[in-house]
Structures are given as structure tokens and as C-alpha cells.
Amino acid sequence: MAVAAKTCTMTVINRHMQPYCLKVSPVLKVDITGWRLARAALSLPPAAARTCSGQMTAASVVLKARTSGSGSYSSKKIGQALSPLVSPSRLGSRSVSAGSPLPRTPAAVPEFLASLALSPYRDYYVVALAAVGGAVWVKVFDLLAANGTLEQKLSRKLVHTTSGPLFVLTWILFSVAPGARYLAAVVPMLNGIRLLAVGNGLVRDQGLVKSVSRSGDRGELLKGPLVYVVTLVAATALSWRDNPAGIIAVSMMCGGDGLADIVGRRWGDAKLPWNKAKSWAGSFAMLVGGYGMSYGLILLFCNLGFFSCYPPAALLSCLGAIALAATIVESLPINQVIDDNVSVPLVAGCLSILLLPQPVEAMAIGVAATEAQVTELAVTATTAAAAAAAVAAPVGLFRSF
Ligand SMILES: C/C(=C\COP(=O)(O)O)CCC[C@H](C)CCC[C@H](C)CCCC(C)C
Ligand SMILES: Nc1ccn([C@@H]2O[C@H](COP(=O)(O)OP(=O)(O)O)[C@@H](O)[C@H]2O)c(=O)n1
């Protein structure tokens, strides 16, 4: 039975409500082109071809093809042609007694992820993923230290340096729901509860103690590590993806302070005049590591559209001032007064809000919005940071004698 000779063109709406141009050509070839789909073609049985008209979902096109019964079509070809639109395995389960379900194709994985993305429970899935990911990540370093692959101090600092930015990267997976940031904050919160439980001896977890403490004493979990996760909670709940302040604060705490320890312990012979426990090499690593991690994450998040991108000159100069200020604060001998997992991110976050406001924030706080004014502010902040160092140096020097 011949099908109409003319090409039947219709708009097919897929699961993402994206329109496609679906053409049924005179030789019964269905040629699917459109949104990121490789051109695929399959022959439809005449009955299905004839009934394809108007707006149809790809699923109904396949279901009509499958249930029309006639014509020589292979479920594999249909699956391959349409699987980027709808997961064949799902179609297989829905098709009327038309034979075995369509075969799984590699495209089913993106569809599975797409269905997660559209799920109302998406944020809960991401929380679970990040929480499990965090536990596994720490366990990996525990095992690497336990089998001697990594020295314990290095393993611990790698956990410090990497956990924060990896957690920030999970922010990308959350939905745009207003409460998403608070769900995201649950991840470091759960880690904080775990640190409290193990640190107070309520739960025994020697692996965690070895992974995140210097001395192997569980009480240490209640100091730096706990402050670290509290800072992650604050950065998530207060800043989130609205502006770079939280990202910069985490980057200075992790990429900066974490790297300062790793580099400083190894190559830190030249000590700082105002703080003999710290070195120029460690501080330089802090500056470069914090700057680089911040810059990379800011570019990623602004290019993903979470907040406005900054003029390159303004970003480079302001970020330089922020990283310098954070580096100076980290170098000061004030760890006994305030943990550097508080002082460093706090200074970095506050300066970020001042120097790198988003347009709506710039208007709200009446801070410079033009590039020239922002650069001027950066110079002012750098001068202020240098002045702070000039004041602290003699103090540190005096105390070091
Ligand atoms: C060792 C750590 C801090 C110590 O700081 P300091 O005393 O040396 O200044 C880091 C502690 C890390 C924490 C136990 C685990 C944090 C996990 C994070 C919230 C989630 C990561 C998820 C991601 C997908 C891996
Ligand atoms: N600016 C820095 C920071 C740390 N370090 C080295 O890293 C070690 C740990 O630094 P830290 O006391 O700041 O460690 P955390 O408090 O960051 O865990 C120091 O004792 C130094 O050996 C450095 O040389 N220069």
C-alpha cells in the first residue's frame, strides 16, 4: 500500500518540549533531524507513515510504528533512530504486545540523566550523590594513606584541598528551586554531624580520624575539619550560585590554604619574617592556588549562566587583590586566635562582595559598577591588605623573638 507521494513534514515535540522537524519521505524514510540529534532514518510501515500527521511525540511515532504491525522494520533501527528522544527501554515497556522491548542503546544513558534532571526529586538525588561521594572520597585517601601510597599529612591535606571545590562543583547539578541551596548545605552539614559524632567518641571511625586529623587523635576532628565543613555550609547557604563570593571563599580555604601546607612543608625553608611557622613558598602557593581555583570556578559558573561574567581586567585585578589579602591573613600568626578555615574564607568572601558585586548587588550597595571604579577599588583593597601586612609584620617579628 503506497503512502502519499508528498513528504509529510510535521513538528515532533520531544520530552524536553523541544520541536523537531520529522519528515516522512516518499520512500518511507523517516528522517529525524534537529536539536543535537545525529541524522537518523528508519523505514516506517505504510500504516504508521500514513497516520503520522500533526504534532506527535516521538514516542507516539515509535509506538505507532511498532504497533502497526506491518512492514519490515527492526526494533533496533527504531531504537537507534529515536533513542536520543525517548529511552528505548522505556518505550519497550510501554509498547503494546508488539514483541520484545526495544534494545538499550548508549543514548539511553543521557535520557536517564535527562529524566533525573526533570524529576521533582532531583535535588535529593544530588544530595545523596554528593554525600556518598564525599564519604567515598575521604575513604579513598584513608586507604591511600593506610597502604603507604600517600604520606598521612599529604593525604589529609589533599582531602582539605579537593573536597571543597568538588563540593562546589556539585552545586551545578542542583535545580533552580529556591530551597536548592539549603538542600546542598545538607551535604557539609551531614559531614559536620559525622565529625561531631566521631570526634566526641559517639561513633567509632578510625578511617575518618586518620584521614582528617594530624595526630590521629579523634578530638582533632572538632577543630579544623569541623570549622572547614561549617564554612562550606555558610558559603552554600549565604552565597550559593548567586555571586562568586562563596566560590572564592572556598577556593582560598581549599586551593589556597590547602596548597600552602603541601608546598610549605616541602619547600618552605625561607620563613616569613613575621611568622617563623610559615614560609614564602607556602604563601606563594596560597596566592597562586587560591587565585587559580577561584578564577577557574568563576569562569565555569558564569559561563554556565549562574551569575554575570566580569570584564576580564576587573576579574583579574580584583581577584588578585582578594587572593593577596587572603594570603596575608593566612600568613599571620593568629591561628591560636582564629582558625584559618574561618579567617581566610571570611576575608576572601567579604572582599569578593565589595570588589566583585553582581550588577544587582552593585546597585544595592552603591558600589562601583564600572570597570574603572572596580579596578580603583581593587587597588584600594590591595593597598589596605599591604598596609595590614606592614602593621602585622613588626607585630609578628616582635612576637617571634
Ligand atoms: C582535613 C580537612 C580540614 C582540616 O583543615 P585544617 O585543620 O588542616 O586547616 C578537610 C575535612 C573534609 C571533611 C571531613 C569532608 C568534607 C566533604 C565535603 C563536605 C563534601 C565533598 C563532596 C564531594 C562530591 C567529594
Ligand atoms: N603560608 C604557609 C602555610 C603553611 N606552611 C606550612 O604548612 C604547615 C601547616 O600550616 P598551617 O598551620 O597553616 O596548617 P593548617 O592550619 O592550614 O592545617 C606549616 O607548619 C608550614 O610548614 C607554610 O610553610 N607556609
Are residue 261 and residue 171 in the same domain, yes or no? yes
Model confidence band, residue 370 (pLDDT cutoffs 50, 70, 90): low
Q: How many CA atoms lie within 13 A of 106 on its CB side?
A: 0
d(CA 41, CA 73): 11
This model of the complex carries an ipTM of 0.97
Cα–ligand 1 centroid distance for 364 (angstroms): 34
pLDDT at position 380 over 90: no
d(CA 331, CA 349): 17
Range with the lowest mean pLDDT among 96-105, 196-205, 216-225, 374-383?
Answer: 96-105
The length of the chain in residues reads: 401
Give the cell for residue 395.
607585630
Are residue 84 and residue 110 in the same domain, yes or no? yes
φ, ψ dihedrals at 9, nearest 5°: -105, 130
Whether the CB of 166 sits within 6 Å of ligand 1: yes
Contacts of 66 (CB under 8 A, 6+ apart): 75, 78, 91, 95, 96, 98, 99
Range with the lowest mean pLDDT among 24-38, 53-67, 153-167, 198-212?
Answer: 24-38
Are residue 23 and residue 71 in the same domain, yes or no? yes
In a domain, 284, yes or no: yes
The residue to mutate among 153, 212, 223, having the most atoms of ligand 1 within 8 angstroms of its beta carbon, is: 212
Are residue 203 and residue 80 in the same domain, yes or no? no
Cβ proximity of 292 and 326 under 8 Å: no
pLDDT digits (tens, 9 = 90+) for 267-319: 999 999 999 999 999 999 999 999 999 999 999 999 999 999 999 999 999 99
Q: Which of 203, 231, 237, 200 has its CA nearest to residue 135?
A: 203
Cα–ligand 2 centroid distance for 400 (angstroms): 16
pLDDT at position 63 over 60: no
Are residue 164 and residue 284 in the same domain, yes or no? yes
What's the whole-number average pLDDT of the chain? 76
Are residue 330 and residue 305 in the same domain, yes or no? yes
Mean predicted confidence (pLDDT) in 356-377? 67
- Provide the 3-class DSSP secondary structure of residue 366: coil
Are residue 97 and residue 190 in the same domain, yes or no? no
Highest mean pLDDT among 37-41, 287-291, 363-367: 287-291
Are residue 205 and residue 327 in the same domain, yes or no? yes
Pocket of ligand 2 (CB under 6 A): 224, 257, 260-261, 264-265, 268, 277-279, 282-283, 286, 330-331, 335, 340
Are residue 189 and residue 278 in the same domain, yes or no? yes
Q: Look at the chain and report how many structural domains it folds into.
A: 2
Cα–ligand 1 centroid distance for 228 (angstroms): 6
- Of 62, 92, 117, the residue at which a domain comes to its end is 117
pTM attached to this predicted model: 0.72
pLDDT at position 339 over 60: yes
Mean predicted confidence (pLDDT) in 14-36? 39
In a domain, 394, yes or no: no
Cα–ligand 2 centroid distance for 387 (angstroms): 23
Q: What integer pLDDT is reported at residue 384 of this predicted model? A: 58
d(CA 66, CA 156): 57
User: Whole domain around residue 245: which residue ranges?
Assistant: 122-361
Are residue 18 and residue 88 in the same domain, yes or no? yes
Are residue 222 and residue 267 in the same domain, yes or no? yes
Name the residue with the closest Cα to ligand 1, atom 7: 224
What is the percent of the chain where pLDDT is above 90?
Answer: 56
**Atom of ligand 1 at shortest range from CA of 232:** 19
Cβ proximity of 17 and 11 under 8 Å: no
